[in-house]
Structure 1
Amino acid sequence: MEKPRTNELGQPVGAPLPDWNPPPFPEESIIEGRFCRLEPLDTESHAAALFAANARDESGANWTYLPYGPFSEIDEYTAWVESVAAESDPQFYAVISAESGVAAGVLSLLRIKPEAGSIEVG
Structure 2
Amino acid sequence: MVSFGFHPVGKPKHKRGNRTQAQETAITAKVDKEVYRRASEAGYTCCERCGCSVPTYRFERCHMLNASQRGTGRAPWNIVVLCAPSNVEGTCHYWADKTTEGHDWKAAKQAELYIYYTTGEGKRFWK
Bigger share in strand: 1
Provide TM-score, normalisation by structure 1. Answer: 0.28
Q: Taking CA–CA contacts closer than 8 Å with sequence separation of 6 or more, which of the two structures ends up with the larger relative contact order?
A: 1
Q: Which has the higher helix share?
A: 2
Greater Rg by CA: 2
